[in-house]
Amino acid sequence: MAQNGGADGACENWELTKDMLLEDQTPRKAPKRALLSLPPSSPQRAVVLLALLLALSFVLLLALTIVSIRRVSAVQEELERTRLQNKQSHATAWHNLSEVQHALDTQLSAELHAIHSRLLNVSREVEEAQRSVAQCRAQCGTELWDRIRALEGRDALQPALQQLEELRQEQSRVSALLSTTLEEAQNLTEMFCTRCPAGWQQFAKTCYYFSTEKKSWIEARAACSMLGAQLAIVNSELENKFLANHIMEIRVFWLGLSDMQKEGYWEWLDGQSLSISFWKKGEPNNVGQHGEDCATVSSSGLWNDATCTSPEAWICERSC
């Protein structure tokens, strides 16, 4: 009996388990009430939410655009401020350079004046030495002939000849000293420029003439040749600044620079190729029907190419 009861219980448990499994495998249907509880206007809410998202995106985009514009404006203001500072620094540098050049010119003029005074003193001493030598030669010659005549009637001819040789050696020594002095004076004269002709301006060892009339480039070159000079050749920034400082504000002057021989190949009148230049921005541009093959300089120190037949003032230079 006990065994049968256990078998029956096991069967009942198996049936319950089977029924539970069948219920789990059977798809459950959603209650009708749950389906009916969904809001009838879900698409409208989605449209509203989408519109809100679009509006929010537009506001964010507008804010980012405003921030970007402000940043760009700030950067532009900073660039403009930097450009103005650079311009002011450039102007200050040019002013300081002009003051330094003026001080150097003043100091150099004072030194050259002192050297010129020394040279004049040396020239006077040389002239005095020449007069002394001439007097010495005359006196020594007279004394020598007097001694020779005095010793002709004597037997002491050998001492007289010895004295004559000593006098000749002394004369040679004086002549050598005089030649050395003259050579040193000449070297000093060649080393320093004592002065330029009237109407010419001096810079270093060169004299410059700034014309008051206007001619074409070829006529200006001929005018410089008649003065024993040539159109100005610029070899340094200081020289170019010196020329600019002596030019009136509204005028330009011819330089000895052109590309007549070959377009685009600029060279100086002495045959040197262009190694340093101070062209304006965008120059040389060779515009016009006849082209622009000759260079000018203005008071700003900047160069420009111009038509060679145009009448302009010119600058001559020559060694002083």
pLDDT in tens, 101-116: 676 667 666 766 666 6
Q: What is the pLDDT of residues 62-106, one digit of tens each?
A: 999 999 899 888 888 888 888 888 787 767 767 776 676 676 667
Q: What is the pLDDT of residues 178-237, one digit of tens each?
A: 666 656 655 554 455 567 999 999 998 899 999 999 999 999 999 999 999 999 999 999
**In terms of C-beta density within 10 A (0-12 exposed, 13-18 middle, 19 or more buried), how is residue 299 classed?**
middle
Q: What is the pLDDT of residues 112-163, one digit of tens each?
A: 666 666 766 766 776 776 676 666 656 655 666 666 566 555 555 566 667 7
Residue corresponding to tokens 């002939």: 145
pLDDT of residue 30: 43
Q: What is the pLDDT of residues 222-257, one digit of tens each?
A: 999 999 999 999 999 999 999 999 998 778 999 999
Q: Which is it for the CA torsion 131, 136, 137, 139, positive or negative?
A: positive
pLDDT of residue 124: 72
Q: Is 70 exceeded by the pLDDT of residue 20?
A: no
pLDDT of residue 139: 64
pLDDT of residue 33: 45
Give me the percent of the chain exceeding a pLDDT of 90: 39
How far is the C-alpha of 148 from the C-alpha of 58, rounded, in Å? 129
